Structure 1
Amino acid sequence: MTIIEKLVYLMEQTGETRTAVSEATGIPYTTIQNIFVRSSSDLRISTLIKLCDHFHVTLDSFARSDVDELEYTSGPYKKTLLSSSEQTLILTMRNSDPVTQDCVYRLLKIENDMPDEKGA
Structure 2
Amino acid sequence: IALTDIGVGHDTLMAEVVPGIDFIIGGFDGRGIREAYEHPVTHTVMVRTYGGVSDLGRLLIHYDRDAGVITGYDWSRISLLAEQETPDPLIKEYVEKNIRSFLKRGVDNSGFEN
TM range, normalised to the smaller chain? Answer: under 0.3
Bigger share in strand: 2
Identify the structure with bigger relative contact order (alpha carbons < 8 Å, sequence gap 6+).
Answer: 1
Bigger share in helix: 1
TM-score, with structure 1 as normaliser? 0.25
Question: Which of the pair has more CA radius of gyration?
Answer: 2
